[in-house]
Amino acid sequence: MMEPSAYLLLSGILFGIGVTGVVARKNALIILMSVEIMLNAVNVAFIAIGSYLGDVTGGVFAFMVMTVAAAEAAVGLAILIAIYRLKETIDITELSVLKW
């Protein structure tokens, strides 16, 4: 049984990359991908802790998150396509009509 700290470090780095991507990038597609990275960073942490504790719940959760991630990606992409058809751009700084 190995220490989970390396995995958790990896998970943290991946999550940081994801967050940076979501906050810093302007392309909606990139943001969507960054969200996927964040979700998968969490998956890494789940599985690492699960295998460290010998508990399958971590793995089950990881599957669950993957399912949600797949659904989210599908819906997100569909929205992006719809926005692109309307605005001919997916730059989020251009998409600021929904405000006061």
Interface residues toward other proteins, by CB under 8 A? 19, 22-23, 26, 28, 31, 92-93, 95-100
CB of 89 to other proteins, least distance (A): 13
Q: Least CB distance from residue 96 to other proteins, whole Å?
A: 4
Q: How far apart are CA 69 and CA 72, in angstroms?
A: 5
Of 86 and 97, CB closest to other proteins:
97
CA 7, CA 58: separation in Å to the nearest integer?
Answer: 14
CB of 54 to other proteins, least distance (A): 25
Q: C-alpha 53: how far from its chain's center?
A: 25
Read off the amino acid at residue 23.
V
